[in-house]
Each structure stands twice: as C-alpha cells, then as structure tokens.
Amino acid sequence: MLWSGIVRKHGTTQKPTKPITLDVEDQQKIAKVGLEMKLLTSEVDAEAEKWDEYAENDIVKRAKAMSSMAYNMYLFTRGDGPLKTTHDLFTQAEFFAEQANKMYKTVREFSYEVPGSAEKNDLSTILEKIPIHCQQLQVLVKSPTVGKPATFSKVDSVIQETKNLMNEIAKLVTACFVCATKFEIEFHGSSVPRQVLGDDEYTQRSSRESTLWRRTPSMRRATHTSVVQKLVSEDVMLNYHIRLRLQYASNRL
C-alpha cells in the first residue's frame, strides 16, 4: 500500500512527498480499525432502513451519507476505493465531521418534539457527545505532519476518531427511531429535486425547509386524553371521600 502526503507551509502547497510504503505491521494495524468502522457502517445502514415511512427526513439522509463516507475510509485502509492519498482521506474526514455537526443540529431540533421521558434522556446523553467527537476529529485533521511515522500516526488517529464518532452516530440514529415510533413523531417538509436548484441553493433551502418535526394529532390527543382521564379520576376519588365523611358525620349525629 502506498501513501502520499501534501505538506503545507505558510499558506503554500509544496510538492507532494514521495509515496511511502507501509510495512506489514502498519497495514494490519490500520486494517483492523478500518474493519471495525466497516461494521459500524453496516449497523448505521441497518438502523436507517428501519425508517421506511420516514425515508425522506434529514436524519436518515445524513446517516446514509456519513455511512458512505466512513465506508470509503474503510476501503482506503485496504488500498481500494475513491480515496487515493492521505490528503483525500483527511479531506473526507473533514467532510464527515461537518456532516456530523449538521446531524447534531437536526437531531437537536427533533428532540424538542420528544416529551420528557427516559427515551429523551437517553437521546440527549448521546447527542451531547457528538460535538466533542466532531471537534476532536477536526483538530486531528488540521494537525500538520512531516514524514512517514507522523503521517501514519495521523492516519491511524483520524480513522480511530472517525470510528468513535460513527459509533455515536449509530447509537443516535437508534435513539431517534425509538423516540419517533414511541411518541409518533413525524417528519413534515417539502422536498425540491436537486436538479431544480443549484447545489448551494439546494443545500441552503433543504436546511431551512426539511427539518420540520411534529407529533401526530393522535399522539397529542392521546396525551391530552390521558391528562383529562387522570383529572377526572382524581375528581371522582375526591367526591367519594367527601361523601364518606358526610355519611360518617351524619351517623354520629
């Protein structure tokens, strides 16, 4: 497997360094981390497939996009796929972190529709970890390196941190699905074909229009009904105790 890096100094791009041949031990080490990430991409894909009736929402779209990016990084550890150099890998990792930050914002908006519950607590706990992992990955990607040992160390760290972030994304997608199904939260948004708009306009419009979440009327009615039933039940019990006291007082007279 060959690696090539690009060294940046004072805002200029120097000539690419000569390809470096990794020894067998390095290849085996990075392949193991890559395989672990591949398993996580399969897990995220499986969770995303559960959202059949919510297939157009941003959580599913971002999860699938991130899974695809992570899979490309896995292929890189095998010397395959569209990522050919370490520069390609680091650029992909940077995009991955950006998508994770967008996922965080989307899920945070979704969480506002989730009633207070153990499920919401679980969702919030996972959600809070996303920005931390994103920041760590972005710091790693931007760290400068020179030479084979430093380059390999950076590659290993970037893939490891991407795997950690992917693990949290897998948990997040699962937690969102649990909340969406239990509390009947639906996605409401208007989708516009990408061909109609330019890429920049499409992205901006999608971010404004497609992250709309609402609990279904049946869920709101059910919640309202349960509250009313509880109040009625308490009122009945109160009247019952009042009648008992009046009857007891009447018998003593």
Instruction: Please report, in tens digits, the pLDDT of each residue of the chain (253 residues total).
Output: 444 443 333 333 344 444 444 556 776 778 888 888 888 888 888 888 887 655 668 898 899 999 999 999 998 888 888 988 888 999 999 999 999 999 999 999 999 999 999 999 999 999 999 999 999 999 999 999 888 888 889 999 999 999 999 999 999 999 999 999 899 887 764 443 344 334 454 444 444 444 465 655 444 444 444 544 554 455 555 555 556 565 655 565 5
Q: Is 187 helix (H, G, I), strand (E, B) or coil?
A: strand
DSSP conformation class of 90? H
Please list, in sequence order, all residues whose beta carbon lies within 8 angstroms of the beta carbon of residue 5, skipping any fewer than 6 positions away: 16, 17, 20, 85, 86, 87, 145, 151
pLDDT of residue 178: 92
Phi, psi (deg, nearest 5) at residue 144: -75, 150
Under DSSP, the state recorded for 23 is P
Cβ-based burial of 190 (10 A; exposed 0-12, middle 13-18, buried ≥19): exposed
Q: What are phi and psi of 220, to 5 degrees?
A: -65, -40
Angle between helix 118-127 and 86-111 (nearest 10): 150
**Amino acid identity at 90:** F
Q: Which helix (H) or strand (E) holds 184?
A: none
CB 185 within 8 A of CB 109: no
What does the block give as tokens for 224?
Answer: 């309202």
pLDDT 10s digits, 143-180 = 998 888 888 899 999 999 999 999 999 999 999 999 99
Task: State the CB neighbour count (10 A cutoff) for residue 17.
Answer: 16
Distance between alpha carbon 24 and the CA centroid of its chain, in Å? Answer: 34
Helical axes 24-49 vs 58-77, angle rounded to 10°: 160
Q: Which residue, among 192, 188, 51, 173, has the nearest Cα to 113 in the 3D structure?
A: 188
Strand pairing category for 8-9 and 185-187: unpaired
- Count helices and strands in the chain by DSSP H and E runs: 8, 6
Q: Please tell me the distance from the alpha carbon of residue 100 to that of residue 96, in angstroms, as a whole number.
A: 6
Task: Give the predicted TM-score (pTM) of the model.
Answer: 0.67
How does DSSP classify residue 82?
S
